[in-house]
């Protein structure tokens, strides 16, 4: 079963291809995206990578969390699912 990882503290120059390249060294990458701002398309400094298995996701976290890429220490962990039913008041 695949696992989706949150990747934070990215350089604003990072691309989805950059993420795919970095994470492919730890396992099979199914998807890699950089989140951008609406309208302008400017990167927001974080993205998501989907690894093909939980074991590969855990290995990616172990190897890449805190690793410096583009002068910034990556923050990598399992992405939390958004709960669209609960909104803070």
Q: For residues 68 and 5, give the distance between their C-alpha atoms in angstroms, rounded to a whole number.
A: 17
Percent of the chain with pLDDT over 70: 91
Domain map of the chain by residue range? Answer: 3-78
- Tell me the whole-structure pTM to 2 decimals: 0.87
pLDDT-derived band of residue 89, with 50, 70 and 90 as boundaries? very low
Residue closest to 22 by CA, chosen among 78, 66, 60, 72: 60
Please provide the CATH number assigned to the domain covering 3-78: 3.30.70.330
Mean per-residue pLDDT, 57-82: 94
């Amino acid at each position: 079963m695949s696992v989706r990882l949150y990747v934070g503290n990215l350089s604003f120059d990072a691309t989805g291809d950059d993420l795919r390249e970095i994470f492919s060294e730890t396992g099979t990458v199914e998807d890699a995206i950089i989140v951008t701002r609406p309208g302008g398309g400017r990167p927001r400094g974080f993205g998501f990578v989907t690894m093909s298995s939980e074991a590969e996701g855990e290995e990616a976290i172990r190897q890449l969390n805190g690793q410096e890429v583009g002068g910034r220490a990556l923050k990598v962990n399992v992405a939390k699912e958004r709960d669209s039913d609960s909104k803070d008041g």
